[in-house]
Structure 1
C-alpha cells in the first residue's frame, strides 16, 4: 500500500518539475539575451568614441559617444524637445491606427475570399513596393504640412505590412479546425470569429512589431522633408542649420533610436502575452 500511494504523488510532481525547468531555462535565455545586448551596445559606444578620438573619419565634425550621451540626457529635460517628440509619437500612432483600421478587415476579406484575393493581389503587389516618402510632396499639396499629411504618409507605409501579415495569418489557419467548427453547426461568421481570427492574431502582432518602427521612421521623414513646424524631424532640421548643431542632431537621433527600442519592447510584451501560444510548437 505504501508503494501504491507514493506512485501517483511522484507522477503528479513530474509535470510541475518540467514546467519549472522550462521556466528557469526561459529566464536564463532572456538574461543571456539582455547581457549580450548590453555588451553589444557598450562595444558600439566604445568603437564610436575611438573613431572620433583618433579622427578616423574624413571630417572631424562628429561628436563622440560621451558628448552625445551627455547632450541626450540634457535634451530629456528640455520641454521644447519633449514636445516635439510627443508630437511625433502621437502622429505615428494616429497613422498606425488608421492603417490598422484599413488593413485588418481588408486582410480578413482577402484572406477568406479567394476571388477577392485574386482580384486585389496584383494591385497590392504593385503598390506595396512604392516608398511612402516619395508621396510627401503630393501629400503636402493635398493636405498641407500638418498632422493630416504626416498621418497619411505613416498610414500609407504601415498598411502593407499589416495587410500582408493578416492575409498570411488567415491562410495559415488550420483547415481541420475550420472543418471541426462547421461540423458543430457553426455559421461562417462564427468560424471566422472563433477560429480564423484567433489564428491570424499572432501574424497581426508580428506586423504591428514591424510597423511600429516604420511609423516612427516615416513620421520623422515626413516632418523633415515636408517642412513641418512640429515633430522630431522638424526639430532635427532646425538644429542641423545651427553652426554647432551636429551634437544636438546626433543626440536627437540617439533618443529616437531609444524610443524605437522602447516601443518595440512594449509590442513584444503584447506578443508574449497574447500570441505566445502560437509559437509553443516552434521551440
Structure 2
C-alpha cells in the first residue's frame, strides 16, 4: 500500500514540476507545453483510428523483432555455452558486433532491403539479440552440475539432458533477457521509423508532428504513449515469467 502511495506521490510531483516549468518563461511559447495541454492530445490521439494503426504497427514490429531474436539467441546461447570451441571461435565476432549502434546501420539496411517494416524489424532483432544471448549463455554456465550428472546417471543422452534439465533452468533467465531487450527494441523501431519516414508507426507520427508547424504538444503526447507502451510490454513479460516460472520467484523469495 505504501509503495503505491509513494509511486503516486512521485508521479504527481513530477507532473506538478512539469506544469510549473511548462508555464514559466524558461522556454519559448509552445516549445515545452505543460501536461494540461499534452494529456488532452494523448486522449485525442488514442481516439484517432489512423494513429491507432501507427501504434499497432510499432507494437507488432517490436513483438516480431523480440520473437525472432529470442528464437535465434536462445538456441545459439545454449550451443555456445556448451561448446568451448565454438565459444572461443565466435567470441571476437560477437564482441565486434555487439557494440555497433543499430541506428547506424539504417542507411545500409535501407539500401539493401528498403525502408519498410523489414528494416525496422531486422534492426530490432539485431539490437535485441545481445541481452538474450548473453543471459542465456551465463544461465547455462550456472546450471547446477549435480542435476546434469544425475540426469546422465539415469541414462539421459545429451539431447534429453539439454531439453529436460538445461532448458527449464535457462528459460527464466532468457525471458529476463527478453525483458531487458524490450525497451531497446522499442527505441530502435521508433528511431528507424523516424529516420526512414516510410514505415509509419509512432516514429512516423513524431516526424509528422515535428515537421512544418511544429506541434510539440503532439510530439510529447506520442512520447508519453511510447513510454506507456514500453512499460506495458515489460509488465506483460514480467507477468508471463511469474506465471510460467513461478518457482523461480518463490526460490528467490526463500533465499531472501
Q: TM bucket by the smaller chain?
A: over 0.9
For each residue in 1:52-102, what CA deviation from the matched residue of structure 2 results, as whole angstroms up to 9, or x when unmatched? 1223x3434211011111110111100011111111111111222221221
Q: CA deviation at 1:271?
A: 1.7
Pair 1:104 & 2:67 matched: no
Say if 2:117 and 2:199, in contact at 8 Å, map to a contact too. no
1:59 aligned to which of 23, 28, 42: 28
Q: CA deviation at 1:229?
A: 4.1
2:40 aligned to which of 70, 77, 88: 70
Q: CA deviation at 1:244?
A: 4.4
Q: Which residue of 2 is the match for residue 174 of structure 1?
A: 144
- Taking a change above 3 Å as real, the CA distance of residues 267 and 33 of structure 1, as seen in their structure-2 partners, is farther
* Structure 1 alignment gaps of length 5 or more: 1-30
For each residue in 1:152-172, what CA deviation from the matched residue of structure 2 results, as whole angstroms up to 9, or x when unmatched? 111110011111111111111
Q: CA deviation at 1:36?
A: 2.6
3-state SS, counterpart of residue 213 of structure 2:
coil
1:245 aligned to which of 189, 194, 215: 215
Taking the aligned partners of 2:96 and 2:198, their CA distance within structure 1 comes to: 29
Q: Which residue of 2 is the match for residue 262 of structure 1?
A: 232
Say if 2:81 and 2:141, in contact at 8 Å, map to a contact too. yes
Q: Which residue of 2 is the match for residue 162 of structure 1?
A: 132
1:94 aligned to which of 25, 47, 64: 64
2:89 aligned to which of 92, 103, 119: 119
Q: Which residue of 1 is the match for residue 13 of structure 2?
A: 43
Taking the aligned partners of 1:200 and 1:36, their CA distance within structure 2 comes to: 35
Taking the aligned partners of 1:172 and 1:59, their CA distance within structure 2 comes to: 55
- Taking a change above 3 Å as real, the CA distance of residues 160 and 147 of structure 1, as seen in their structure-2 partners, is same
For each residue in 1:196-217, what CA deviation from the matched residue of structure 2 results, as whole angstroms up to 9, or x when unmatched? 1111111111011111221111
Q: CA deviation at 1:109?
A: 0.3
Q: CA deviation at 1:174?
A: 0.5
Taking the aligned partners of 1:44 and 1:277, their CA distance within structure 2 comes to: 37
2:155 aligned to which of 181, 185, 188: 185
Higher relative contact order (CA 8 A, sep 6+): 2
Q: Which residue of 2 is the match for residue 22 of structure 1?
A: none
3-state SS, counterpart of residue 154 of structure 1:
helix
Say if 2:23 and 2:33, in contact at 8 Å, map to a contact too. no
RMSD: 1.4
Aligned length: 252
Q: Which residue of 1 is the match for residue 166 of structure 2?
A: 196
Taking the aligned partners of 2:205 and 2:165, their CA distance within structure 1 comes to: 47
TM-score by length of 2: 0.94
TM-score by length of 1: 0.85
